[in-house]
Amino acid sequence: MTEDDLDLLHRTVELATEALTLGNSPYGSLLVDPHGAVVFEDHNRDADGDLTRHPEFAIAKYAIAHYSPEERAACTVYTSTEHCAMCAGGHAWAGLGKIYCATTGAQTAQWYAKWGAEAGPLTPLSAAEVSPNIQIEGPAPRFEEVLYDLHRWFYLGEQQSQ
């Protein structure tokens, strides 16, 4: 990864932090167009109970609405945590390009298991296992500690308040 890639991943961690401060689960992502411009960024918006409101899925919908198939293939997605199976499917169906992730789904699944967090309804597959057309680069070790802390705050904080 280049320093530019790491800077963009840093922004996804900021978005994940913003999500958490708003009561959402700590995930953030952004879309870079074929010319290198950040054109869409978002974070999870699941505090209302709609657990499908992931930024990676929103990115796929945005890209379909704004870019041709050829342009979508030249776009890049940066995300704080590798796509879940739902979002990887959206990414694949949209025909988006490479994914850079600060941490992997396998890492977060290990954290959740360590904390005794209830498993979600999807098998924690790598995005590349969901679609062989998805190219992923990551994790970026410099973000592991902060993401671990964000997820711990969200999941253990929630468990402690029950």
Residue 20 and residue 154 in contact, taking contact as beta carbons nearer than 8 Å: yes
> What's 105's domain CATH number?
3.40.140
DSSP state of 23: T
User: pLDDT tens across 103-115, in order?
Assistant: 999 999 999 999 9
Residue 144 lies in a domain: yes
Residue 42 lies in a domain: no
E strand or H helix at 144, and its extent? helix 144-160
Residue 30 lies in a domain: no
CA separation, residue 147 to residues 26, 37, 97, 107 (Å):
8, 25, 24, 10
152 lies in which domain range?
3-25+54-160
| Parallel, antiparallel or unpaired: strands 76-81 and 38-43 | unpaired
Which pLDDT band holds residue 123 (cuts at 50, 70, 90)?
confident
Q: What is the pTM of this model?
A: 0.93
